Amino acid sequence: SYELIQPLSVSVALGETARIPCGGNNIGIKHVHWYQEKPGQAPVLVIYRDSKRPSGIPERFSGSNSENTATLTISGAQAGDEADYYCQVWDSTTLVVFGGGTKLTVL
């Protein structure tokens, strides 16, 4: 079955750039989607199809995907960006796959 690997945690200084990786075998040929989840709230889609932002998502959220790693980038990280972030893909055998999630801490 297909697996997505994320680091358990990433830290970033306030106002700096955070990069959250999501590793998977040949993930570059799949569409990767990213979700933000804050405590007690439902997940929110922040990036879809590798790099597209839904309406209402700030421009500081961006995404890229190549070869074996997709990356969610948060430029000028704010305190309100502290959350868990999950990557997700569709796979022909496993269907929907989520990464294990990364806790982003803004210092």
Partner 1 sequence: EVQLVESGGGLVQPGGSLRLSCATSGFTFSTYTMNWVRQAPGKGLEWISYISSYGTGIYYTDSVKGRFTISRSNAQSSLYLQMSSLRAEDTAVYYCARAESNGEAFDIWGQGTMVTVSS
Of 5, 58, 73, 97, the residue at the interface with partner 1 (CB under 8 A) is 97
- For residue 1, what is the DSSP state? -
The 14-33 contact track toward partner 1, x by CB under 8 A, reads: -----------------x-x
Nearest 5 degrees, angle CA 75-CA 38-CA 76?
Answer: 10
Binding to partner 1 by residue 45, rule CB under 8 A? yes
- For residue 52, what is the DSSP state? B
Binding to partner 1 by residue 101, rule CB under 8 A? yes
Of 10, 22, 35, 65, the residue at the interface with partner 1 (CB under 8 A) is 35
Of 42, 79, 80, 92, the residue at the interface with partner 1 (CB under 8 A) is 42
CB 21, CB 65: distance < 8 Å? no
CB 18, CB 28: distance < 8 Å? no
Of 21, 37, 60, 73, the residue at the interface with partner 1 (CB under 8 A) is 37
CA distance readout (Å), 41 to 36, 51, 76: 10, 23, 23
The region of 18-26, 62-70, 71-79, 87-95 touching partner 1 under the rule CB under 8 A is: 87-95
